[in-house]
Amino acid sequence: MFFFAPLSTHALERDEPDLSDASKISPVKIARSLDQRTSFWVSAAVVAHTLWTSAAPAVTYPLYAAQWHLTPTMTTAVFAVYPTVVVTVLLLFGNVSDYWGHRCAMLLGLASSLLGTLLFALAPSVGWIFAGRIFMGIGVGFAAGPATAAMVEFNTTGVATYASTMNAAAQALGYGAATLIGGALIQYAPFPTRLSFWLLFAVIVAILAIAWFLPRHVRGASPLRWHPGSIGVPKEIASVFVTSALVVASAYALGAVMLSLGAQIAKDLIGSTNAFVNGATISLFAISSGFTTIATGNFTFRTNIALGTLASVVGLFLLMLAASTRSLALFLVSSGSLGFAYSLQFRGGLTLVVDHAPSERRAGTLSAIYLVAYLIMGSVALSLGMLATAWSLKAAVDIGCPTIAIMSVAGFLLAHSIKRGSPRRGCDMPA
């Protein structure tokens, strides 16, 4: 998965219910519900929408800054409020689909995303943007995990990794649509700050209408009354947790750089005034990450983290060099390299903790990983914005890139120091 969509712990376990028979999907099968295969693709569309809503504002930040005279601190604060909201939703409602079913959680998420997108489409001031970002965060927090779990449960292929592969493809598609279509509409269509959000609004309406006919219940949903979820880390894997959290947070920090400041870097430091080109450059991050996730599914956590660290350091150096030389070509290469790094570090960090965490404590441990990662992502974005406001965007890049590189190297060293043992295997790690 990418850094914007929380991962359901259901998709990390092989003890999912076997739903090869459509009748098993729901203990109370309703008329007119979608069949299992269609439900899989609708769930994939929900996953794609989470990345589209997450990345949709990325190419419009420079326009907002110019239109409303916003500082980099303000634009990165708009970005940073998103992971903060996602963390809050995960902490309070991360287990809601276990009680109410995946369909209900996805519908709540889609409705919230729809409202957030509408606020962006109508926004007369930056306050509306903040409100829209909050509702988008709520939407992703509710929908992304259950949609990922639903893809696993509705998978009819019999291939364990198929859901993971399609999850990666759906997220890459959503991210690519946000940056490529958004960039094209900004550059070549009227209403540059609004039209892309009206398009997204229409897409979410269509997904919401179809998702309404998903099976109402999933096998295994808890009959007990819902209560807020909790997180926790077993003491015996404290060192593994710290290592995994640092590696995953390093990956999320790369995403914070590209999404919060990528378009502004392309415009102000690289000198590219074409919004479509800038959006395409940013989308290369997601495309590279998606292909890497699909191609490296059998790598061990050590290999993933080692290669991810190398790609991260190289990509960050190239980003600094691109900003210094105003080279669009180097910016393109750095975006691809950072996407490669993100995928490997994210997958390596999660594989590490999944391999070592007791199954009965896995959900809480993973929630804690996401808590740390999202908080660091928001902190990195806001810190870079404050540096850019106080000094310059170039200074923010020159300070932020080495700092994130140091984080990546530290995570690699900690991972390398973990003793080789016989951790539990057999987990289908999602994209």
For residues 374 and 61, the answer to whether their CB atoms sit within 8 Å is no
pLDDT at position 12, please? 41
* pLDDT exceeds 90 at position 298: no
Model-wide pTM > 0.85: no
For residues 370 and 6, the answer to whether their CB atoms sit within 8 Å is yes
DSSP string of 298-344?
T--HHHHHHHHHHHHHHHHHHHHHHHHHT-HHHHHHHHHHHHHHHHH
Of residues 340, 183, 213, the one with CA closest to residue 277? 183
Most confident of the ranges 347-356, 372-381, 398-407: 398-407
For residues 42 and 207, the answer to whether their CB atoms sit within 8 Å is yes
Average pLDDT over residues 122-142: 95
The whole-chain average pLDDT of the chain stands at 84
Which of the residue ranges 183-187, 208-212, 309-313, 344-348 would you say has the lowest mean pLDDT?
344-348
Question: What confidence tier does 8 reach under pLDDT thresholds 50, 70, 90?
Answer: very low
Q: Which residue has the higher pLDDT, 194 or 166?
A: 194
In the structure encoding, which two tokens stand for residue 13, read together?
């376990």
pLDDT at position 14, please? 37
What span, in angstroms and rounded, lies between the C-alpha atoms of 66 and 309?
Answer: 36
Q: Which residue has the higher pLDDT, 232 or 336?
A: 336
The one-letter amino acid code at 157 reads: T
pLDDT at position 49, please? 95
pLDDT at position 359, please? 67
* pLDDT exceeds 60 at position 15: no
pLDDT at position 227, please? 64
Average pLDDT over residues 153-163: 80
DSSP 212: T
DSSP string of 135-187?
HHHHHHHHHHHHHHHHHHHT--S--TTHHHHHHHHHHHHHHHIIIIIHHHHHH
Question: What confidence tier does 229 reach under pLDDT thresholds 50, 70, 90?
Answer: low
Q: Which residue has the higher pLDDT, 103 or 167?
A: 103
Summarize pLDDT for 385-408 with one digit per residue, the tens: 999 999 999 999 999 999 999 999
What span, in angstroms and rounded, lies between the C-alpha atoms of 347 and 430?
Answer: 8
Kindly tell me the burial class for residue 54, based on how many C-beta atoms sit within 10 Å of its own C-beta (0-12, 13-18, 19 or more): buried
